[in-house]
Amino acid sequence: TGDNPSPTTFSGGLSYGSRPNAAAYVKKTGSGTWRLTQGASSNNGTYDVREGVLEYATIAEKGTACALGTATLTQSEYTGTPDDSKNVPYAIKLGSDPATVAAANTATLKYVGADAKTIKERPVVIKGAGRFASDNAAIDWTGFTSLIPGENTLILGGAASGNVARGVADGAGTLSLMKDGAGSWTVNNPGTSGDLAVKSGRLDVRLNRQYRWYKLQIKKVYNNTEVYLAHIGFFNAEGVEQGLT
């Protein structure tokens, strides 16, 4: 926690010694910025960024040690004896309820590493509002949904270009998308019903939908005989019908 404007570096790894089945729940509060740099952190728990900025210098798929640990035993916050009923299907939670999108200390998880990365097994949930950003190298990340009912906002930011967000969907509530920062993001097939706002940078939205194809035929009847005249379909600018399925 804290209100430090410059990153405070946590360079040590989170480990458990003789307790390999233990899990840590890392909670970030306060308006300040913390940076995790240890690439061999074996923490296997959940990261909960409630306000301020949590930066990480390395990232890998679930089960592989990196600055955000291994994410193999993600749980909600609790104390006491081990309790598997506290397991949650996400590795990262951004925001707190209630949350204000315009607040300077909106919960932010930011990648500051130098290598482009693709991550498919560390789902992110938004509780109110949260910013997901990359400042240097592009990241391709799968899994963004809202955790609570009502309006929630996922803010895609940072200075890096070529970032991709996949598996973006409403979840438990309504998820809105906002783009800020100088970088660029592509959102593939969003399943969201909230608002869309682009404050700065570039946002590409790509849709790959399946539509049912109907051919509307126009006929005329002569003495109980149907004569086909034409049909209504989808045509390109050159007048060639598109065989959509």
In sequence order, the β-bridge partners of residue 157 are 133
The predicted pLDDT at position 228 comes to: 84
The 10s digit of each residue's pLDDT in 27-45 is 999 999 999 998 878 888 8
Mean pLDDT for the stretch of residues 190-218: 82
Question: Cα dist. 139→40, 51, 63, 121, 193 in Å?
Answer: 20, 22, 18, 13, 24
More confident residue, 175 or 20: 175
The predicted pLDDT at position 211 comes to: 53
- Give CA 55 to chain center in angstroms: 16
Mean pLDDT for the stretch of residues 151-168: 96
More confident residue, 213 or 176: 176
Mean confidence (pLDDT) of the chain: 88
- Whole-number Å distance between alpha carbons of 155 and 96: 14
The predicted pLDDT at position 18 comes to: 62
Residue 20 — pLDDT band, cuts 50, 70, 90? low
Kindly tell me if the per-residue pLDDT of 182 is higher than 70.
yes
- Whole-number Å distance between alpha carbons of 86 and 111: 27
Q: Which of 140, 138, 131 is CA-nearest to residue 54?
A: 131
Kindly tell me if the per-residue pLDDT of 98 is higher than 80.
no
Rounded percentage of the chain residues whose pLDDT exceeds 90: 63
